Amino acid sequence: MSWVRELARPDIVALKPYEHASWEPGLERLHANELPWRPADDDSAAGLNRYPEPQPRALVERLAQLYSVAPASVLVGRGSDEAIDLLTRAFCRAGHDSVLICPPTFGMYSVCARIQGAQVAQVPLLAADGFALDAEAVLGCCGPGVKLVFLCSPNNPTGNLLEEAAILRLGRELAGRALVVVDEAYVEFADRPSLARKVAQLPNLAILRTLSKAYGLAGARCGALIADPEVIALLRKIIPPYAIPQLTLEAVLHGLRPAALDAARANRQVLLAERRRLLTALPHLARVGRVWPSEANFLLTQFADAGAALARAREASLLVRDARGYPGLAGALRVTVGTPEQNGRLLEAWG
Ligand SMILES: *Cc1c(COP(=O)(O)O)cnc(C)c1O
């Protein structure tokens, strides 16, 4: 039996998926109980009266091209959040298996685990070492019940990259034992290439990518999992049959045209300059205790009185994220880098 089938939930391996209406665009559809007429004023390309193509081929191929991987290695979902949920469902038996997370980190990994009834093992990042990955401790914690290791790089909310060599070491040492899932939601803002290129050599490595951050398409809800084709095939069995709305498909293909990519790149340059500006200016403010360096589009900032800083931002009509609830982040707020005008207003509010 293949390592994917060994690792996954036996009932998911055995599951016979729902048979959606066959996708044969050359023929007229009297097989899916749709209405034959478009709604009035529907200007979508395909017609909203029709169910969308399951795992739309054009979108899968476009994302495969964007991420320089094979289409068989790509699962498209409603944001990368959906892939986190599907991985947890497919690999963790309720009441038996665990995911491993490295806090402080993105909250969805443990929420999806709890929804599935999986346990959450925790190996904190090394705060004194810039929130570095403690690979040794992760390995020590990976017993047979740990099926998924979630690593976020750049990490939300701390902003730092995890060391590539440490991630690859975990991939090698956990081969056949656990899937190492690297969430690269912010990698486009970092000075480092994606680890997607390593999946072909390390099949138990899986990469989460999203269009929500660097591509400015959070409202479209589109993200991807890049993984071994057998992992992708397994998740295609359990993703809802018509997961990607037609409007999302059309918006994303439009949002990834060459001209749109040029615009996204230009925005990214502005954003990186603004990140440098905030990183330079914030530590000079009397109320700011500390600013952590960031490879993402946000800055973790510590205040003597974070509650007052939140209130001052709000008075300037700006919301920043309260990060005080994360383990080890007393007094911390997470600030998304905005437009030059917004960043100026925030600095003024905290000045
Ligand atoms: C924003 C974010 C995501 C979610 O992305 P969607 O594709 O919008 O679901 C995933 N992981 C991390 C770490 C994030 O910060």
Which residue's CA lies nearest to atom 12 of ligand 1? 185
Q: Tell me, what's the pLDDT at 150?
A: 98
pTM confidence score: 0.97
Identify the pLDDT of residue 245: 97
Nearest protein CA to atom 6 of ligand 1, as residue = 79
213 CA closest ligand 1 atom index: 1
The CA 185 to ligand 1 mean position distance, Å, reads: 6
Please identify, by atom number, the ligand 1 atom nearest to the C-alpha of residue 80. Answer: 7
70, 74, 113: which is closest to 94 by C-alpha? Answer: 113
Please tell me the predicted confidence (pLDDT) of residue 107: 97
Return the best residue to mutate from 67, 75, 152, 183 for the ligand 1 pocket (most ligand atoms within 8 A of CB): 183
pLDDT at residue 312 is higher than 90: yes
Give 341: exposed, middle or buried? Use CB within 10 Å, 0-12, 13-18, 19+. exposed
The answer, yes or no, to whether residue 182 has pLDDT greater than 90, is yes
Residue 53 pLDDT grade (very low, low, confident, very high; cuts 50, 70, 90): very high
Average pLDDT of span 96-105 = 98
Q: Calculate how far, in angstroms, residue 186's C-alpha sits from the geometric centre of ligand 1.
A: 8
Asked if 211 contacts 217 with a C-beta cutoff of 8 angstroms, the reply is: yes
Task: State in Å: Cα 206 to ligand 1 middle.
Answer: 15
Distance of CA 26 from the midpoint of ligand 1 (Å): 36
Given a contact cutoff of 8 angstroms between Cβ atoms, the answer to whether 234 and 13 are in contact is yes
Q: How far from the centroid of its chain's Cα atoms is residue 171's Cα?
A: 19
9, pLDDT greater than 90 = yes
What pLDDT is recorded for position 322?
98
Mean pLDDT of 145-152: 98
Confidence of residue 20 (pLDDT cuts 50, 70, 90): confident
**Residue 210 pLDDT:** 98
Q: Which residue has the tokens 């109320």?
A: 287
Asked if the model's pLDDT at residue 201 lies above 90, the reply is: yes
- Tell me what pLDDT residue 170 has: 98
pLDDT at 303: 97
Average pLDDT over residues 66-75: 98
CA of 143 from ligand 1 middle (Å) equals 27
Ligand 1 pocket test: which of 76, 80, 188, 194 has the largest number of ligand atoms within 8 Å of its C-beta? 80
Residue 120 confidence class, pLDDT cut points 50, 70, 90? very high
Ligand 1 atom having least distance to the Cα of 84: 10
> How many angstroms separate the CA atoms of 9 and 39, rounded?
42
User: If you average pLDDT over residues 251-268, what whole number do you get?
Assistant: 97
Identify the structural domains of the chain with CATH numbers, from first to last.
Answer: 3-256 (3.40.640.10), 259-350 (3.90.1150.10)
Which candidate, 234, 230, 170, places its Cα nearest to that of 198? 170
**Cα(162) to centroid(ligand 1), Å:** 17
Helices (H), 67-220: 79-91, 108-116, 135-141, 164-173
- Tell me the CA end-to-end span of the chain in Å, nearest whole number: 62
Ligand 1: residues within 6 Å at CB? 79-81, 106, 152, 156, 183, 185, 210, 212, 218, 223
Q: What percent of the chain has pLDDT over 70?
A: 100
DSSP string, 241-274: TT-S-HHHHHHHHHHTSHHHHHHHHHHHHHHHHH
Q: Is the pLDDT of residue 19 over 90?
A: no
* Residue 100: predicted pLDDT: 98
Mean pLDDT, to the nearest integer, of 95-122?
Answer: 98
pLDDT above 90: residue 105: yes
Whether 21 shows a pLDDT value over 90: the answer reads: no
pLDDT of residue 200 exceeding 90, the answer is: yes
CB 214 within 8 A of CB 189: yes
**Ligand 1, atom 2: closest residue by C-alpha:** 185
